Amino acid sequence: MFVGNLSFDVTREELIEALSAAGKVMDAKLPTDRETGRPRGFAFVEFESDEAAERCIANMNGKDLKGRALRVNEAESRPPRPGGGGPSFRPAGAPGYRPAGPGFGAPPPDFGGGGFDSGGFDRGRPFKAKGSRRNLRRRKRGFY
């Protein structure tokens, strides 16, 4: 069951003691904030039986605990969330996979010159490497 609108001062033991009037509490979890370590203001409580959980909802919803009116109801399962950001590898056929096409990792179009050896574009390099290393570095810095 979900217990919301908890005071940040409520401990796990105090919550179990307050809710045990409705029935035997098997477990209580108070999630904490990653950065501060403080409780997040809600909890998940597991009762021994469904009847005890229903009694708790009926008796404790709206009751005051440490100056705050509790919100007690049945916990809803949450849909799975996507993973964090950043680069990831997705094999072909996986959800979210986009095949190569214009703008999605495809090689640049051929501008009439053919491949690298015939003087055309090859992956964005318009010229064949000639000259000293110093001159090559100078050419790459500016426009070509």
Number of domains in the chain: 1
**Which tens digit of pLDDT belongs to each residue from 20-75?**
888 899 999 999 988 888 889 999 999 999 999 999 999 999 999 999 999 999 98
Whole-number Å distance between alpha carbons of 62 and 5 = 10
pLDDT above 70: percentage of residues in the chain: 57
Its pTM stands at 0.53
Whole-number Å distance between alpha carbons of 46 and 1 = 6
Whole-number Å distance between alpha carbons of 75 and 3 = 8
Q: Which helix (H) or strand (E) holds 138?
A: helix 133-141
Region of poorest pLDDT, from 44-48, 100-104, 114-118, 140-144 = 114-118
Range of the domain at 63: 2-73
Residue 13 domain-assigned? yes
Residue 99 domain-assigned? no
Q: Check residue 120 and give its pLDDT.
A: 47
Asked whether residue 9 carries a pLDDT value surpassing 80, the answer given is yes
Residue 8 domain-assigned? yes
Residue 126 pLDDT class (50, 70, 90 cuts): low
Q: Check residue 97 and give its pLDDT.
A: 54
- The CATH number of the domain where 64 resides is what? 3.30.70.330
Residue 39 domain-assigned? yes
Residue 127 domain-assigned? no
Residue 51 domain-assigned? yes
List of residues 6+ apart from 111 with CB closer than 8 A: 120, 121
Residue 139 domain-assigned? no
Residue 40 domain-assigned? yes
